[in-house]
Amino acid sequence: DAKTTQPTSMDCAEGRAANLPCNHSTISGNEYVYWYRQIHSQGPQYIIHGLKNNETNEMASLIITEDRKSSTLILPHATLRDTAVYYCIVNNAGNMLTFGGGTRLMVKP
Amino acid sequence: NAGVMQNPRHLVRRRGQEARLRCSPMKGHSHVYWYRQLPEEGLKFMVYLQKENIIDESGMPKERFSAEFPKEGPSILRIQQVVRGDSAAYFCASSPFGQGSSNEQFFGPGTRLTVL
C-alpha cells in the first residue's frame, strides 16, 4: 500500500470547517483513500473513502485531487466531539489497513 | 444492527498465563481483522480471517499468538504465556466483503490487556 503523509497536529475553532490534508503521491490506480478517526482510546471509526471522485456523507466530505496524489478531509462544522486523531490510509480495497501517525485534531471552543 | 462486539473489555493476566480475546463481528460480516495498539503507538495489523480460514497472518508474532474464526461463534485471538510486552489494546474489525472490494472496516471497542 502507498505511504501517506499528514501533519502531526492541527487546531480548529468550534463551528468552523476543519480541513485535514493528506499526501499520497505514490498511490496506484486501484488504491482507495480511506479516512478513519480514533477518539481518545476508543476503536477507530470509519469516516469516508473514495477512489477518484469527491465524496460526501453525513460526517464529512472527501476531496481528491485530479492526479490523486493528495486529498483533503473536510468536517464542515467541527464540534468539540470531533477532537480525535484522524488517519488517512491508502488501501488496496479489502486488505488490512496500515495506520500511520495521523493528525491530532484539537477543536477549541 | 449491533456493532462489532469485543469481550472482555479489560483483561488482567500474570506473566505466563493465557489470554483469550473474543470478537463478534457485525451481523452479516464474514471478514474479521485483528489489530494491536501498544501504548502511545499507532495500530498495527495482526491477522485477517474469513470464516474458518486465515487469509493473512503477516502481522502476527511467530510464537505464542494464534487466531481463529470458526464456522459458529466469535473470532478468538489467543496469546499463550503472556509477557509484559503484550500489554496493549487489541482491536477487532469486521467487513462484509474481503479482498477486491471497496469496503470499510468497522471496529469494536477493543480489549485492553494488562500483563502484571
Give the mean pLDDT of A34-55.
93
In order of B24, B47, B57, B75, B100, the CA distances from B53 in angstroms are 16, 11, 11, 11, 17
Predicted local confidence at residue B104, as pLDDT: 84
Give the three-class secondary structure for B23. strand
Q: Choose, out of A1, A96, A97, A103, the residue to mutate when testing the contact with B (most B CBs < 10 Å).
A: A96
| Per-residue pLDDT tens over the stretch A23-39 | 999 998 888 999 999 99
CB contact under 8 A, B107 and A43: yes
Nearest to B99 among A41, A44, A94 (CB): A94
Give the mean pLDDT of A41-59.
93
Better pLDDT: A4 or A91 = A4
Can you tell me the distance from the alpha carbon of A93 to that of B83, in angstroms, rounded to the nearest whole number?
A: 34
- State the pairing for strand pair A9-13/A103-108: parallel
CB contact under 8 A, A34 and B109: no
Residue A98 has pLDDT above 80, yes or no: yes
Which residue carries 469516508 as its cell? A48
Q: Choose, out of B102, B103, B106, the residue to mutate when testing the contact with A (most A CBs < 10 Å).
A: B102
**Nearest C-alpha of chain A: how many angstroms from B28?**
16
Which residue carries 480460514 as its cell? B53
Residue B98 has pLDDT above 80, yes or no: no
A80 phi, psi to nearest 5 deg:
-60, -30
Residue among B60, B114, B111 nearest B84 (CA): B114
Strands lying side by side in the sheet with A55-56: A18-23, A70-75, A61-64, A55-56
Can you tell me the distance from the alpha carbon of A101 to that of A105, in angstroms, rounded to the nearest whole number?
A: 12
| Per-residue pLDDT tens over the stretch B4-54 | 999 999 999 999 999 999 999 999 898 999 999 998 888 999 999 998 899
CB contact under 8 A, A43 and B108: yes
Better pLDDT: B36 or A41 = B36
Nearest to B107 among A45, A95, A101 (CB): A45
Q: Does A80 touch chain B (CB under 8 A)?
A: no
Can you tell me the distance from the alpha carbon of B64 to that of B95, in angstroms, rounded to the nearest whole number?
A: 26
CB contact under 8 A, B104 and A49: yes
Give the mean pLDDT of A62-75.
96
